[in-house]
Amino acid sequence: MKTIKWKFKLKNCIICNNIFKPINGKQITCSKICGNKRKLNYNIQYNKDNPEYIAKNVRKSFQRNKKKRNEYQIKYNKNHPEIIKLRNDTREYIRKNKINYNGICLDCGKGCKREIHHITPTITGFILICKNCHYKRHGKENRK
């Protein structure tokens, strides 16, 4: 039986400082976990040094999501014309009666910009509540 000599010297992991046998000459971390930590640290540092890179990628992803959102909205609007009509009629009612969106939320009592929440599917069957209370009423998590 042949004994295989190990080509590479033992190394210290740059993340956890453990001694390990490298698989190839370029390996600098002992495991995938340490490799992922290294990548994360590198990405954080790179993003700090290059804010324009982040801004460019954020804009790209926002544009992609905007296209998807618009496509979804078009499909939704075609399937639910009565909801679109109700939404537009309610906005018209608010505009005619000069109801202010800024004010006190009826649920939490905070003074803030409010949203329309329909209690009944009629033009006047709505209340004005803040965004967080609106999400709670629809059973969604708080969003800020």
pLDDT digits (tens, 9 = 90+) for 31-42: 989 988 888 887
Q: What is the mean pLDDT of residues 12-20?
A: 89
Name which residue leads in pLDDT, 2 or 10: 10
Alpha-carbon 73 to chain mean position: 19
Mean pLDDT of the chain: 81
pLDDT of 128 > 80? The answer is yes
End-to-end CA distance of the chain: 66
**Domain shared by 24 and 53, yes or no:** yes
Name which residue leads in pLDDT, 81 or 61: 81
Distance CA 97, CA 65 (A): 35
Structural domain ending residue among the three candidates 48, 74, 100? 74
Q: Is the pTM of this model over 0.85?
A: no
Exposure string over 55-71, b if 16+ CB within 10 A, otherwise e: eeeeeeeeeeeeeeeee
pLDDT digits (tens, 9 = 90+) for 68-124: 878 888 888 888 888 888 888 888 988 888 888 888 888 888 888 888 888 888 888
**Domain shared by 18 and 70, yes or no:** yes
**Domain shared by 51 and 85, yes or no:** no
Structural domain ending residue among the three candidates 74, 89, 109? 74
The reply to whether 86 falls in a domain is yes
Helix residue ranges, H only, 80-129: 81-96
pLDDT of 143 > 80? The answer is no
For tokens 């800020």, the residue is 144
**Domain shared by 133 and 102, yes or no:** yes
For tokens 């009509």, the residue is 85
Question: Which domain does 51 fall in, by range?
Answer: 11-74
For tokens 């009826």, the residue is 106
The reply to whether 128 falls in a domain is yes
How are the residues of the chain apportioned to helix, strand and coil, as percentages rounded to the nearest 5? 50, 10, 40
Count of domains forming the chain = 2
The reply to whether 143 falls in a domain is no
DSSP string, 9-63: PPEE-TTT--EE--SSTT--SSSHHHHHHHHHHHHHHHHHH-HHHHHHHHHHHHH
Host H or E run for residue 17: none
pLDDT of 142 > 60? The answer is no
